[in-house]
A and B are shown apart, each in its own frame.
Chain A
């Protein structure tokens, strides 16, 4: 998000789902779309089989979407910046860039800086870094560069790197270079991985912003919020959770209040995370189950599920949609907002919400991008933000005619290697991610027996590596990194190249995040889940 905000002025998926059928070319990089976003993958596949869209897939795994691709390329994990720079090198060399768009929409000096930077990224140089054959890269650049309108899709495969922000800025560079911004069927499209991750960001669930990305440190915003909430507010920006865990480990942080998250499965380097939480004076967890994290808490507060509440979610394409209560909550479980209200009032404030809709009204009063919305207007279909006024139709495509920040900024981005790469002791790349049948830390999906029967813990390894270590399919394999080791079932497949292993992170029995590296991107503070070095052994 930090990356797109720097490039465009707004950090969200720029285009909508309905427009996916309008692309001439779609590039998927760092997204196992059919596993993590199955319904969006269906939309893209539809466009491909109808003959409208040509697909390019770049991923270390030969994902299912690659079966539908005109070109598939396998890059070494963590070499995306080089791949993008290489594509732009070829595009510029052949004059396939959108000169009109660059002239009108991009800061000229930033374009010149980019041009200089990508000069040395010849396809041959990029082949050395990424392993993608020079000819393949040229073909990708040609197909993408010559397309009338091309969309770019990514997910955590781009962001979960120590170069996450660099990667994201590179996607923005490429899409501005080719003039694919502000048009249906184009755009930079980060696919959000959780039902309301967009909403959690929009509603101020971030340390540096209030709702609608209004900066905490901006004195005008600060004054506005103090007036609106009628309290004195802290003007110092907060800290990201990854940093807070480090500080808890060091004893600087004293209390965590965790709502509906399970960092004991989702955090990098779980030993470290556990030690950090145990080091706190007070931990309160609000959740629907006794999660791995809740077990460590001093107080656990029972909350409600999606089916038990009214409210709204904002999806990946910025569409705000209404949830309707379908069943009653069990026992004494309460809605999260009811719990917050009890606490706020106990701590001396006087909140008086009667239902979710009243809270939404307050949100619209203080959040410019949601200002024109109401439950009545959202109706059955919802609205895309920004929707600033009550007669505004919502905004399915961002940055039409003009970027949020005016002119777009390109960034010259040198290639940096991942924090940890294979060596003699740990010779194999380890990358982590999701599989179709499970979700995130498994708190919800693992309660359905059928889903567990379809997908249990495993490590995907290549045929060559399996032969080398002497493991059979479904045999036990031990995966070890400098942080720890797990034993799990080997899933031997031709879809993963020699020298790379993939472990899904959903399973407490074989938690991928015991292995992952907690090295962070310096700006976004996102951990490098997608690359570290491991050793495979027969267990």
Chain B
């Protein structure tokens, strides 16, 4: 179907809401509570637009598109309302961008930039909540929370861990873990979905804090090395240090839709761990000593050939691995079958 947004006629799909159709056509409308995964909440009111034939301003995230619909997201009224909403958010809480982890990746910052809001005009910054630094991997700074509800929806409806909720009322509303316990004492399993979904810097990955800003980090998509679900990861790399500093789930991945578990999201220290093996080792008199590749390969080839020639190829066993790639399992079994001459290849699928 065709709809018109800000004077431009664009294509829209049945079942889309106005905000989705706008985003799909490259038209930005400020929005904070809406996320494709948790759907429309109609809470933040930042995405209000004018729609011909409808009275007053409409939240574009909650109005389904109709053929021929005429929408204006940049009329004076719409912009005025959007500005007021963002201004109110900026006015409550500490939205300091300088050391914020989300700087450059913050949807509130994006909205303020789009609307040209330099400073909040209504300073009623009376919100002063304690940081929750109790958990191993997730850092919670409620002073930055805009109560959009994405984390609450994601915790309850996406990962279905049912730990996060809103507590208290009105101006005192805040996100709470279980019955307002410190995160570490709650039933939270630290999957980090709340951090993945937070549009601002209120919930961030604890161990990534201060390790690099989003534009300084290279992003590389790959597959999680842990269980067999095959969740897709976006690794955030500090090139200067040759180090993974953060991992996010890939939102459009068919396996995990951005979700990860505590290991997949936070268990990457092993990659740059100081105990990594960095050189071949040969044991002599019960002690390992460093060796060159030439020496190690020569020794292994000689030993394996010798044992094959003396006792037969079937006295040699190869254990392939459920943790290396298809390509490497292929070359391993090819090596055992062609160079050594045995079908003794197995791995720990059963273990």
Cβ-based interface call for A129 (8 A): no
Number of A interface residues in the complex (CB < 8 A): 151
CB distance from B261 to the nearest CB of A (A): 4
Interface-located stretch among B13-21, B42-50, B265-273: B265-273
**Cβ–Cβ contact A344 & B237, under 8 A:** no
Chain A residue with Cβ nearest B338: A231
Cβ–Cβ contact A197 & B331, under 8 A: no
Which residues of A lie under 8 Å from residue B293 when comparing CB positions?
332, 334, 342
Using Cβ atoms and an 8 Å threshold, which residues of chain B touch A315?
A: 223, 228-230, 255
Q: Are B327 and A252 in contact (CB under 8 A)?
A: no
Which residues of A373-422 have CB atoms within 8 Å of chain B's CB atoms?
A: 380-382
A236 contacts B319, C-beta separation under 8 Å:
no
Q: Is the CB of B276 within 8 A of A330?
A: yes
Is A213 an interface residue when CB atoms closer than 8 A count as contact?
no
Q: Quick one: given A234-B341, A236-B314, A261-B348, are A36 and B270 in contact (CB under 8 Å)?
A: no
Report the interface size class on chain B.
35 or more
Q: Give a binary string over A312-347; 1 marks a CB under 8 Å from any B CB, 0 the rest.
A: 111111011111111110111111110111111011
- Contact A313 B325, CB 8 Å, known A206-B346, A237-B343, A347-B305: yes
Contact in complex: B335, A344 (CB < 8 Å): yes
The answer to whether A259 touches B345, judged by C-beta atoms less than 8 angstroms apart, is no
- B304 adjacent to chain A (CB < 8 Å): yes
Tell me how far the C-beta of B177 lies from the nearest C-beta in chain A, rounded to whole angstroms.
Answer: 15
A37 in contact with B228 (CB, 8 Å): yes
Q: Is B172 positioned at the interface, with any CB of A under 8 Å from its CB?
A: no
Please give, as numbers and ranges, the residues of chain B lying within 8 Å of A18 by CB-CB distance: 254
Are A347 and B276 in contact, with the CB atoms below 8 A?
no
Collect the chain B residues with CB atoms within 8 Å of residue A436's CB.
189, 261-263
A333 with B338, Cβ < 8 A, contacts A207-B343, A327-B271 known: no
Tell me the complex Cα distance, A449–B296, Å: 33
Residues of A within 8 A of B275 (CB): 289-290, 447
Q: Is B136 an interface residue (CB 8 A)?
A: yes
Contacts of A273-300 to chain B: CB distance below 8 A: 281-282, 284, 287-290, 294, 297-300
Asked if A46 CB lies within 8 Å of chain B CBs, one says yes
B334 nearest CB neighbor, chain A only = A229
A519 CB to closest chain B CB (Å) equals 13
A45 touches B266 (CB 8 A): no
Q: Are A203 and B326 in contact (CB under 8 A)?
A: yes
The smallest beta-carbon distance between B231 and chain A, in angstroms, is 6
A260-B324 contact, Cβ under 8 Å, with A326-B222, A333-B278, A346-B297:
yes
Binds B, one of A95-103, A171-179, A491-499, A524-532: A524-532
Of residues 248 through 264 on chain A, the ones whose CB sits less than 8 Å from some CB of chain B are 248, 252-261, 263
Segment of A85-93, A437-445, A459-467, A478-486 in the binding face: A437-445
Q: Mark B133-147, 1 if CB is under 8 A from A, else 0.
A: 000110000000000
Q: What distance in Å separates the Cβ of A526 from its nearest Cβ neighbour in chain B?
A: 4
Cα–Cα, bound, A367→B108 (Å): 51
* B 301-321 binary contact with A (CB < 8 Å = 1; else 0): 101110100110111111111
A332–B278 touching, CB < 8 Å: yes
Q: Which residues of B contact A255 (CB under 8 A)?
A: 303-304, 307, 315-317
Partner of A327, one of B237, B252, B336: B237
In the bound complex, how far is the Cα of B234 from the Cα of A380, in angstroms? Answer: 12
**B224 touching A195 by the CB < 8 A rule?**
yes
CA distance A445 to B299 in the complex (A): 32
Residues of A within 8 A of B334 (CB): 204, 229, 340, 344
With beta carbons under 8 angstroms apart, the residue of A211, A299, A300, A323 that contacts B222 is: A323
Write the nearest CB–CB distance from B311 to chain A, whole angstroms. 5
Closest to A211 in B: B330
- Does residue A6 face the partner (Cβ distance < 8 Å to B)? no
For the complex, give the distance between the alpha carbons of A441 and B172 in Å. 46
Pair B346/A238 contact, Cβ less than 8 Å = yes
A113 at the interface (CB under 8 A from B): no
6 A-B pairs with the lowest CB-CB distances in the bound complex, closest first: A331-B278, A315-B230, A311-B325, A192-B228, A238-B343, A260-B321
Q: List 5 A-B contacts (CB under 8 A).
A: A207-B345, A238-B346, A261-B321, A284-B304, A307-B225
Contacts A333-B276, A445-B226, A448-B268 supplied; 5 other A-B pairs, CB < 8 Å: A198-B228, A205-B345, A207-B344, A261-B323, A344-B339
